[in-house]
A and B are shown apart, each in its own frame.
Chain A
């Protein structure tokens, strides 16, 4: 049972406390981990929350991979530890080479902040425990660069390997294949643009994010293998 969750905080991160509160409400023990630290401490799962890591300078998430903590996050991920990147956290995971593809500006050139309906396309990952393919969730998005893009071969690979976790039912940002979230091959690393931590109470308009975070808390660490040990750029192209 994953209970202790490290929530990574970069300069410019702004969703860390919402994430900590949401996890603690669900019975987890979340703590904020500073990006300048090189040790994650004793954690069972990691969340890279939303915001503007390092001011989104150069490209969203591009500088974050140089933060000292990211070596530990990469090692944790490659050893099968559950990692969830939300919004800017998703961008950080792609730039760090832990997930393929990139997030470009929304097709409509508008910052979008609203509730979206997404659908589970795969549950073979750390947020899918107890869910079924086809399940519909209402979870808000809050982004300008959420338009997922990848090479055609990568898209084919994601589909064949069952790594598309969520699709939008009404694509808001132009993402290829209506993709709202993907996982790595083993399913222990998930990146998603919608914010589950903001959908954890009916007071917020939806409680559908709770089950995703609960799944992260409950998932066992994937078996440690050498599979998928990619250097920084291997996953990106």
Chain B
């Protein structure tokens, strides 16, 4: 089966996210006083051939560990969307 997968790559807890903090500082100017913890990352979408959702997830998590994500500064959230 072919699975559509979404990978969210975000800066790790404690890693500076200057883009996020700049946006956070700006939001109150539009009246959004209640927003906080703004973090900017990136989204990678891909399709992968696998037998099951679990296998698809395992393949993509391996991709993240070895290439798509740098564990020193980033975390990846893998979401298998559709088969």
Contact = CB atoms under 8 A, between A and B. Distances in A.
B73 interface: yes
Nearest to B21: A109
Interface in B38-83: 65-68, 70-73
A230 to B, nearest CB: 14
Interface in A143-163: 147, 149-151
B68 to A, nearest CB: 7
A109 B15 contact: no
Interface stretch (A98-106, A111-119, A220-228): A98-106
Contacts, number: 43
Interface residues of B, number: 14
Contacts of A59: 70
A131 interface: no
A174 B16 contact: yes
B67 A105 contact: no
A172 B33 CA distance: 31
B18 A233 contact: no
Contact of B16 (A94, A107, A150): A107
A68 interface: no
Contacts of A105: 16, 18-19
B22 interface: yes
A102 B70 contact: yes
Contact of A149 (B15, B18, B22, B66): B15
A237 B16 contact: no
A109 B67 contact: no
12 contacts: A59-B70, A62-B67, A101-B72, A106-B18, A107-B18, A108-B18, A109-B19, A151-B72, A174-B16, A233-B71, A236-B70, A236-B72
Interface of B: 11, 15-16, 18-19, 22, 65-68, 70-73
Which are the 6 A-B pairs with shortest beta-carbon distances? A109-B18, A102-B72, A102-B73, A104-B73, A102-B70, A105-B18
